[in-house]
Amino acid sequence: MPPRPDRPSRKGNAVQRLLYNLVAVVCAVVGSPGIAAADDWHGWRGPTQDGHSHETGLPERWTAENVVWTRDLPGLGQSSPVVTGEKIVLTAALDEGRERVVICLDRHDGSILWQETAWTGEPEPTHPMNGWASATCATDGERVYAFFGRGGGLVCYSLEGEKLWQNDLGALESPWGTAACPRLVGDLVVQNCDADSDASIVAFHKVTGEEVWRTPRPANRGWSSPIVIEANVAGGSARRTEVVVNSHTGVRAYDPSTGEELWNCRSFNGRGTPTVAPAGGLLHVVNGLSGDTYAIIPGGSGDVTETHMAWHTERGGRDLPSPIIVDGVVLVSSLRSAVITGYDAESGKELWKTRVGDQISASPVAWGGLAYFVKESGVTIAVDPQSGEVVSESTVDPAATEVFRASITPAYGRVLLRSDSVLYCIGG
């Protein structure tokens, strides 16, 4: 591990506060390109890459009576559903990982429109909590992109199920398997390929599949997904687009046109698996198992650990879920201790802590001013960001054998909830 950087105070030093004031109002999330409709959910953590839905009229609580339809899925998987127009797309692995498939369903009734095999062969090692179909797809409204790691690489299909291109991304050595989600930016699809050897981040032309650039990354297993932001360059008024990715060794930003590394912020303890969450001009980071929580000001150059860390707090046991920021509060869930903690997004001050009594692997999603966390049992809790109060608990009464590790997908007035083997569509 790199040496632990000096810890800024929770309110930040004078230089950091000045930087924050300069960039906070101009850092913005870059939405996915294409022809996606306003209610589409076309990639990991939604159209704004922060887990927020701005739809109104979504269900706030539900029971099994609110389930509009269910669909038993072939095989097992943990990718979250993506929605584009009338279609839902997700992935699954059959025969203990020996076959990897992309599945397209009708949004209205859950019928399977097509199912295409992306790869067959002997499966690579994976963690029991992961499997072989955990990466959420990305879509631009015309094509869908799915990542299967060593067994299938990155594959592109038309929305009618025609395979357009497929790229092998190497051995991706790791006992955990892979789960980083592809990210669209302009005409590119960017894929993080963290692994114990030959780690890299790679960009392909989204139409042809031609490799545009490849940048080495520090060799270490992980599956953090990229986000795409715009930020002012520190010390000036110029703006630029940055692809930002967490990792075992820290957070790094890249130029999406060339793959050049722009800046890096060294890591604390932990595994860099959660996705960075943008909000209010800051990038909020959870390090992973036994890791810390901190916030970074984007737009820097080189090693920004000492200059662009807005705040930092030592807390362990986060592991898988990514954070979410709702109304100025960073909500962070701990997988193993079943605790959700709220921090002030600007200062990092701990505001509250709530025990929820069951393991949470899925990253939260927010709408209507509440944050929704799915327990592995399938119970969904809605949390008030200001108080930490659990204001509702919802369930679809799943079978005891089902495990829920995919994030919720809100779209077109309904909520899609996926277990490892069943997809539920929930209405109001």
Joined tokens for residue 137: 């797809």
Q: Name the residue among 271, 227, 278 with its Cα closest to residue 249.
A: 271
Residue 27 counted as domain residue: no
| pTM score, whole prediction | 0.93
Residue 314 counted as domain residue: yes
| pLDDT (0 to 100) of residue 389 | 98
| Residue 216, SS3 per DSSP | strand
Give mean pLDDT, residues 135-162.
98
Q: Name the residue among 35, 29, 291 with its Cα closest to residue 142.
A: 35
Average pLDDT, the chain: 91
Q: Which tens digit of pLDDT belongs to each residue from 82-127? A: 999 999 999 999 999 999 999 999 999 999 999 999 999 999 999 9
Q: How many CB atoms lie within 10 A of CB 422?
A: 17
Residue 379 maps to which CATH number? 2.130.10.10
| pLDDT (0 to 100) of residue 320 | 85
| pLDDT (0 to 100) of residue 272 | 67
| pLDDT (0 to 100) of residue 151 | 96
Task: Tell whether the model's pLDDT for residue 12 goes beyond 80.
Answer: no
Q: Which tens digit of pLDDT belongs to each residue from 267-313? A: 876 676 899 999 999 999 998 766 789 999 999 999 999 999 999 98
Residue 25 counted as domain residue: no
Domain coverage including residue 115? 64-427
Residue 273 counted as domain residue: yes
Residue type at 182 in one-letter notation: P
Residue 45 counted as domain residue: no
Joined tokens for residue 294: 């901190």
Q: Considering its fold, how many domains does the chain have in total?
A: 1
Q: Is-contact 167 204, C-beta < 8 A? A: yes
Which H helix or E strand runs over 154? strand 154-158
Residue 326 counted as domain residue: yes
Q: Is-contact 390 404, C-beta < 8 A? A: no
| pLDDT (0 to 100) of residue 27 | 58
Residue 111 counted as domain residue: yes
- Phi first, then psi: give them for residue 40, nearest 5 degrees: -70, 155
Go through 150-188 and write b for each residue having 16 or more CB atoms within 10 A of its CB, e for each that does not: bbbbbbbbebeeeebbbbebbebebebbbbbbbbbbbeb
Which conformational region is residue 187 in: left (phi greater than 0), alpha (psi within -120 to 50 degrees), or beta?
Answer: alpha
Q: Which tens digit of pLDDT belongs to each residue from 30-77? A: 655 555 566 899 999 999 999 999 999 999 999 999 999 999 999 999
